[in-house]
Amino acid sequence: MIAKTAKEILLPLLFTQLFIFSVAAAQTSGKPRKCIMIFGAHADDVDENAGGTLAKYVAMGYEGIYVCAINNLDGCNLERTPWYDKGPNFTISNSPHKYRVDALETSQIREEEAKAAAAVYPAIPIFLNYKEPTFFIGRKIVYYGSPEYDAFDPPGRPLIPIATYMDSEVDSVYELLKKYQPEIVITHTLGGEKMDHGNTAYLIYLAFKKAMDNHVPVGKLWMVVNGWFLDKEAQRTGRGKPDVHIDVKAYLKTKYTALNKHISQNGGFGRDYVMGNETQPKEVIEEFITVLDNTK
């Protein structure tokens, strides 16, 4: 009687466990979704690196995810906007000089610009909120590790270089990949031309590797051809040669319309291209290197 009762109890439990296991296996062994996820270190990096590609894939029916890794405490200007001589002065004084905006205001302005840019494609904006290593208080630049930085105690998660050492931070990006299961992920270059860019790429690389190891259906990780990919040795060996070439000529207006939303950064850097319909040859094709391929 006791053996029968145990059997009656254990068999349903066994079938339940097998069912749960089979459902979990099905969820992690399927194909990636029609989703393209672009990770940029700063608010405008998504548009700079892969705006045309994002616009093209969204037009093809893919869900677009627009991810800003850093909370952009630095990099916002009033009066004359940087890098573009024909940009607007957009303030009451019409000064030709640049004036930095304080940290929290900068973060708010650049986040709103990023949201406006994401809406152009349209794509879902996501902000990971990692701290910027520098910011301005008044006219003074403040560096990470200084007494002024610690006293200000800016909001946000750890700096990107520190985050790459923290399992919890890698897990946070991994969970994002697990949620959206993107077919294509694009980010900066490992060892890129800027520390924030290269470390953002490494964080995404670690999370993508974890997704592959845990059988999450992600597709391919592409990186921009920059930084060490442009070194002579990388070019000679072919390691720095792009294997992905996306024709984005028909989507440049969308890219530059999005880029123009970052007024604090470029003052309408793409305006001449949009209005004059003029493009440089290198901008017609966006190129990337496949760093990880989970589809093989």
pLDDT on residue 277: 52
- Tell me the domains of the chain and their CATH numbers: 33-76+104-293 (3.40.50.10320)
Q: Residue-wise pLDDT tens for the chain (296 aa)?
A: 444 554 454 444 433 443 333 334 434 458 999 999 999 999 899 998 999 999 999 999 999 999 999 998 887 765 545 444 555 555 555 556 666 778 888 888 889 999 999 999 999 999 999 999 998 887 788 999 999 999 999 989 999 999 999 999 999 999 999 999 999 999 999 987 788 999 999 999 999 999 999 999 999 999 999 888 888 898 899 888 999 999 999 998 899 889 888 877 765 555 555 555 555 556 789 999 999 999 98
All residues at 6 or more sequence positions from 178 whose CB lies less than 8 Å from its CB, including other chains: 211, 214, 216
Tokens of 279: 């493009």
Tokens of 198: 């290269």
pLDDT on residue 260: 84
pLDDT on residue 82: 46
Report the C-alpha gap between 69 and 45 in whole angstroms. 10
pLDDT on residue 5: 54
pLDDT on residue 265: 73
